[in-house]
Amino acid sequence: MTGYLYLGIAIAAEVVATASMKALDGLNRPLPLLLVVFGYALSFWMLSLVVKTIPVGVAYAVWAGLGIVLVSIAATILYQQRLDLPALLGMGLIVAGVVVIQLFSQSVGH
């Protein structure tokens, strides 16, 4: 269970870091820069702990898949970037893939 807590922290930190990138203004704004650097550092640190208990391929699939979806939601809220139907369908497939891994893969270690 600790692995999934660390994975959740890693995903949240990556989402904050990635969503902050648009606000960087060419590295001219210190707060977004701190969020990006700290967010990615925290995310990779947590991922290094996650792979002690969750297979690296599974951890990365969940981290990347949920990160894509959550960053897209954050961009919609923060920057009013709208997604079209193909983008939404693609993200739905990503979420479905993560669900399949979690529910049916023997690699997860249930």
pLDDT tens-digit series, residues 6-54: 999 999 999 999 999 999 988 889 999 999 999 999 999 999 999 999 9
What is the three-class DSSP state of 53? coil
Domain count, the chain: 1
pLDDT at 109 over 70: no
Range of the domain at 63: 2-108
Contact 101, 108 (CB under 8 A): yes
Residue 110 has pLDDT above 60, yes or no: no
Closest CA relative to residue 58, chosen from 47, 45, 43:
47
Q: And the tokens for 105?
A: 């893969």
Mean pLDDT, the chain, whole residue set: 91
